[in-house]
Structure 1
Amino acid sequence: MVSTIANVDVKQKDAEQALVVAISCSAVFEDADNGDVLGVGVAHPLMQALQSVNRQLVAANCAESLLFDVLLVTTDERRRRQSAGIVSSTRHYGLEVSRFCFSGREDFVESLLENQVQLFLSSEPEEVTLASQRGPMLLIDLAGVLSALLGRQTWSSPSEQLRVLLCGDDIITTTTAKSTPAAQHFWSQLGAMRGRFGVLDSPVSVLVMTAHGGRQNFADTLATLRSRGLNADEAHCLAGAPRGPVLELLRPHFLLGDVMWSS
């Protein structure tokens, strides 16, 4: 059974215009040793970065409707029993969460679809597997929900700028051949959101990295992204070089593509 609770402390976003992101409670909060307030998890800098983007969008245009609409999702019974603590901890840390969605593993994907989620993020491989139905790393699922696994390195990502890294090696095959309308809508919305800001000092940074292939493959990747309405702030062609040092330098909040954090 799916239970969705609106957060009365937060102004609800325009469901038709917002970019809906669901984040697993297991990534946002860790269990507290004592008291009702849960400890912050690996997704805390990500949550702050999403809020920074929304804050600057509204500052530039008070009527802005293209905003991140953030949901917290839980899939296990223990977390459901902590629902009061999750809500109060969200208030304690000042997190801008529109809705809380409590579901079981059997109706988890249904809960994402019901809430029109365009991107699901979790630190639990099992949850990403459920959402993607294609394996433990990021893929596009059959129902059109884009999903990504958050790594421990998310802790070191900046809290004032959202940094999204796209794996260019996966862009050509996934975006052109297998992309669902929902995924394409995500790319265009992210591109439109990035376009709200100038070249310098943007709270949204789109990064592209190709691990394999040469110059032509790299050019094809950038052209494909532009056709989806998304331009890159930084682009890196590794041509087989180790990815680990570049990942440490870029410090993305999450990876869209089949890139391993440790590689």
Structure 2
Amino acid sequence: MASTIANVDVKQKDAEQALVVAISCSAVLEDAGDDGDDVHGVGVAFPLMQALQSVNRRLVAANPAESLLFDVLLVTTDERRRRQSARVVSSTKHYGLEVSRFCFSGREDFVESLLANQVHLFLSTEPEEVTLASQRGVLSALLGRQSWSSPSEQLRVLLYADDIINTAPANSIPAAQRFWSRLGAMRGRFGVLDSPLSVSVVTARGGRQKFGDALATLRSRGLDADEAHCLAGAPRGPILELLRPHFLLGDVTWSS
């Protein structure tokens, strides 16, 4: 049975205004086994967690009453980690991670937790979890090895416009719209320079017209890009090395 526990050490966000991001526990904390230290090691999503908190700190510094903030949930689907819930909670506290709620569930019902908590974006290192969440209409992305090398002081989001605009499943469009509009509003809180949040858009196929259409579509949905790249069939690896995104929305093969 799924259960959600609020973190009493973290001020809860405004549920109507926050951008809710759920991250799999296995991506944030390494499995320490049944024995050993009381604190888990950090996983590939640790820089992502720090970057999310960096954005929140800058938003609150500019406006103490700010309600458009990242609201982070940690989702645990592994049975052993569910038994070690106290270790999971104490580990996040040890590393100073601002997790608002902890969702402990099984692989078969974790999506219900995402829906119940009105999650805008789910991130995991497990392809099966990403697929299951996407099928239920939760905007999801696969975290890959590049997350380790992403900066911790600036959140970097990469949108693969070819897939997002042209081939997104019909049931994921409302979720994507909510995410894009809130992310766009959040990015708009900062100036052009020295922003803790950067949004990049890439089209891998097609020419100038398709590239322009993709940018116009995203803009109509409330999101402007800091950088935009039209690869027109060029290799995609170099752009990932340059941008170093924390996560990519679109073609999951990019995240491997």
TM-score over 0.5 (shorter chain): yes
Report what 2:244 is aligned to.
251
Indicate how the Cα distance of structure 1 residues 83 and 179 shifts in structure 2: closer, same or farther if over 3 A, else same.
Answer: closer
Q: Does 1:54 align with 2:59?
A: no
SS of alignment partner, residue 106 of structure 1: coil
User: Percent identical across equivalent pairs?
Assistant: 86
| Cα drift, residue 176 of structure 1 | 10
| Cα drift, residue 241 of structure 1 | 0.5
Report what 1:210 is aligned to.
203
* Contact persistence 2:248–2:255 (CA under 8 A): no
Report what 1:7 is aligned to.
7
Aligned length: 254
| Cα drift, residue 31 of structure 1 | 2.0
SS of alignment partner, residue 170 of structure 1: helix
Q: How does 1:22-101 map to 2 (within 5 A)?
A: 22-32=22-32, 34-101=36-103
Question: Deviations 1:168-213 (Å, cap 9, x if unpaired)?
Answer: 1113214696653232111100000000000011111000011110
Indicate how the Cα distance of structure 1 residues 26 and 38 shifts in structure 2: closer, same or farther if over 3 A, else same.
Answer: same
Report what 1:157 is aligned to.
150
| Cα drift, residue 107 of structure 1 | 1.1
Indicate how the Cα distance of structure 1 residues 126 and 171 shifts in structure 2: closer, same or farther if over 3 A, else same.
Answer: closer
* Contact persistence 2:144–2:255 (CA under 8 A): no
Report what 1:233 is aligned to.
226
Question: Deviations 1:88-135 (Å, cap 9, x if unpaired)?
Answer: 0000000000000001122111110001111000011121122123xx
Unaligned runs of 5+ in 1: 134-142
Q: Does 1:17 align with 2:21?
A: no
Report what 1:182 is aligned to.
175
| Cα drift, residue 261 of structure 1 | 2.9
Give the partner amino acid of 1:57: L
| Cα drift, residue 14 of structure 1 | 0.3
Report what 1:136 is aligned to.
none
Alignment partners' CA distance in 2, 1:64 and 1:176: 33
Compute the TM-score of the two structures, normalised by the length of structure 1.
0.93
Unaligned runs of 5+ in 2: none
Alignment partners' CA distance in 2, 1:85 and 1:176: 37
SS of alignment partner, residue 30 of structure 1: coil
Compute the TM-score of the two structures, normalised by the length of structure 2.
0.95
Q: Does 1:123 align with 2:116?
A: no
* Contact persistence 1:37–1:92 (CA under 8 A): yes
Indicate how the Cα distance of structure 1 residues 109 and 259 shifts in structure 2: closer, same or farther if over 3 A, else same.
Answer: closer
SS of alignment partner, residue 166 of structure 1: strand
SS of alignment partner, residue 105 of structure 1: coil
Give the partner amino acid of 1:253: H
